[in-house]
Each structure stands twice: as C-alpha cells, then as structure tokens.
Amino acid sequence: MKKLELLSILLLVFSFSQTIFAQEKKKKGEKPEFKIDAELRIRTNILDGYKTLPTDEKIANFLVEQRTRLGLSYKTDLLKMKITFQDSRIWGDENLHTKTGIWGDSASIDLKEAWADLKINDFWNFKIGRQALQLDEGRLIGYRNWSNISLSYDAALIKFKKNDFSLDVMLSYNNSLMNLFAGEYDHLKIKSMNYIYLKKKFSKDFKASLSTIFSGFQAEGSATTIYFKTTIGPYIKFDNKKLLAKGEFYYQLGKTVTGVDVSAYFFNADLGYNFGKIFLGAGMDYMSGQTTDTDINETMQAFDILYGARFKYYGNLNYVVTPASTKYGGLINPFVRFNVKFNKKNNVKLTYHIFSSAQDVANPDGGYYDKGLGSELDMMYMFKLNKDINFRAGYHLAFPSETMEIFKGVEPGTAKTPQWFWVMFTFKPTLFSNKW
C-alpha cells in the first residue's frame, strides 16, 4: 500500500513538472521584467480623541508617522516574485540613543512581503509566501493599508480563473519558533487562517462572490486543540458608473478563542448615485450583539469583523472596531456620503455616521444603557499630482453620547469633543525597470 501511495505521489509530481516545463517552453522567447520601486509615506497628526475620548486632563498630541518601503519584483509569463522591505516608525521612537546623539533602532526593518506566484497553466496559479490579502472590499480580510504597517499573511494561495469565474483557496499554519514538537502558541494570535473564495462577474456592471473563512486560534494551555470560527456569506455589487448598489451578509459559527459556541451575523447595504462630479450615497452596517437572555460564556452572539478594515467603514476615529468596544452589544451604523471630484487631481469626501448598539447592554443598576453611542463626521481632501506623488489631509470629529463615555471609561459629561487632524504625503516612484 505504501509503495502504491509513493508511486501516486511521484506521478503527481511528474505531471506537475511536465506542465510547468510545457509552459516555460511555450514562452521561451519572452523577456523577463525586473523592477525596483519605493514608497515614502509621512503622516503628521494632531491627536485629541483618536480611539480614546479626550478630557480636560488629557493634552492633545502632535506626532509624525513615517513608512518607508523598498520593493524588488520579477516577472515573466511563468513566474512573478515580489520582495518588499519595510520600516515603520514614529519620529523620535529610536531606542538606541545617548545624550550626544540618536543612533537608531535595534530592530526596525521588517519584511512586508516575499512571495512567488507560479503559473501552472492557463487557468491555475500557485502563490506562496508572505503576502497581502484582500477579499472584495476588505470587510473581513483586508490590506488595512491606512495603518503605518498594514497587514500581511504567511500563506499559500491556490488560484483558478476561467473567463469571468475565479476560485481562490488560501491555507496557512503558524508557529512562533522552530518547534521540534507541537507546543503552545499565543492564543490571541492567528494559528491557522484559511478561506475558500468564489467570484463571478455576470456583466461589466454586476459581480458577486461567496467567502468562507476559517480562522483558528490555539487553545490556551494546549498543544493540539485549535478553535475554529467559520464566517460565510455573499457579496454583491452593481456599478454602472452612475448607480452604485452593493451589499454583504455574513454568518459566523464555530468557536471563540476560549472555546465558546458562536452564532452571530452581519449585513451591509450601500446605495449611491453619481451626478457627474458629485456622488451622493447612504447605507447601513448591522453587527449582531449579545441578547440579554443569552449567557456570553455559553454562546457568543456578537459579530467579529476579523481582519477587515476599520478606518474605512466605522468612523475614522476608531471608536467601534471590536465586539468589546460596544460591550458586546453589536452595532448599527447608518451613514451618508458626499464626494466631490473637482477634476482628475482634486477630490473631497465627507461621511457622517450615527452609532448605536444593536442590543440592550445591562448597566450596574439593573437597567440598560441607552443604545445611542453618538455620531461622527469624517472629512478628507485628496490631491494627486501624478501617479507617483499624492497629498491627503483629513479632519475628523465625533459627538459621543453618555453611553459612549461610559463604554470608554470616561465620567459622563466630562468628555471634550474628539478631534483628529492629519496631513499625509506619499511618494511611490519606480526607481528602475528593465526587460532583457
């Protein structure tokens, strides 16, 4: 039996190698392309209420973030490779310094991405290594590029594409060390994240997809138990450059990081219309929360948006970004959007959110907190000088309710108006490009 299994594996490897050889032979005359690209992004911030409500005792802060990247890429019809080095810092955060000088950081350079994408045939690709991943518009798994570091994953990705249909299967399994035997892993870090992603483009204006995500966390104190949470649901989008209509629905089941059963859901509806240079839109996000008659230690009903974008969808001040941020009451987020595109270089966006919990949250007096959490106005200006250089500025302010103050650990009535102003410069030139 073992000989038969070995023979089957050898035949599979031989078949795979022959396919690759045939592809390489077919494109023998193609010229490889090599590129070196860079990114320098500097964002200055005046922070007086970002993530945490300000009070008279807290003083607004001015800080500068800097992100520096250097990327090397190689491309042929058969193989694509990308290696990107990244340094993320706050101006002045160096830990190697004396009274006479600042020498640098003991460890500041990181590997943003390092992957190879192999074309198996006209329909199949295999991509493996450290890579950025995003499903649809990043609601559950996204780049989260607003962050100075942004997200990357160590994963293997199998991709199929034929005509207007595509299938992606992603697999990952993480360890903290070169463990010779199974051992414990930080129960708050992803042990294994995997997904199956189906996408179909029905016309140039309409597309739909179905995501099934399996996110696993190793049980605390165990070397073998992994609790998996499954999130499954569709995404649909219609966009004919005038009318925009899109929506998403997801259901979560499985286990939390502590082994509690999960039964939660999320839906979004978004509608807008483009009046030439002006876009008007409105929509709502709904995340289920914990009902008052269900023990949170027996069933988790608060929806978790996993590794998706926060800044993009739930207010730029980042107050309602996890189930715990609303005391597991869930979230209702109706919003309106107003965008003005003056020309190809200048663009202004305004978004107004109204936040409330989806479920009642009990207070210490035996009653319930008011569901209203407040509102937020986000304003952003964008100027694109050319494909390599752009400038952005933003101003965000919130109007928290008494419930929000309590949830954020602030005495009711003592919070000042939260504000955040920032200016960001991004330079992304191609330093070198050549075919030979």
Per residue in 185-234, pLDDT (tens digit) is 888 889 999 999 999 999 999 999 999 999 999 999 888 899 999 999 99
71 neighbors 83 (Cβ within 8 angstroms):
yes
pLDDT in the model for residue 1: 39
**Cα 251 from chain centroid?**
19
Nearest to 302 by CA among 284, 281, 328: 328
Q: What is the mean pLDDT of residues 128-148?
A: 94
Long-range contacts for 386-389 (Cβ within 8 Å, ≥24 apart)? 387/428, 388/427, 388/428, 388/429, 388/430, 389/425, 389/426, 389/427, 389/428
pLDDT in the model for residue 93: 84
Confidence of residue 246 (pLDDT cuts 50, 70, 90): very high
Question: What radius of gyration, in Å, describes the C-alpha atoms of the chain?
Answer: 24
Please say whether the structural domain 47-94+108-428 has been given the CATH code 2.40.160.100: yes
pTM as predicted: 0.89
Cα angle, residue 317 at apex, residues 312 and 322 outer, rounded to 5°: 75
Measure Cα distances from 173 to 1, 189, 192 in Å.
29, 11, 5
Q: In this structure, is the dihedral angle defined by the CA atoms of residues 80, 81, 87 and 88, taken in order, positive or negative?
A: positive
Q: Is it the case that residue 411 has pLDDT exceeding 50?
A: yes
Residue linked to tokens 């999960």: 262
126 neighbors 157 (Cβ within 8 angstroms):
yes
Confidence of residue 31 (pLDDT cuts 50, 70, 90): confident
Residue 355: strand, helix, or coil = strand
281 neighbors 337 (Cβ within 8 angstroms):
yes
Q: Is it the case that residue 62 has pLDDT exceeding 80?
A: yes
Per residue in 381-398, pLDDT (tens digit) is 999 999 999 999 999 999
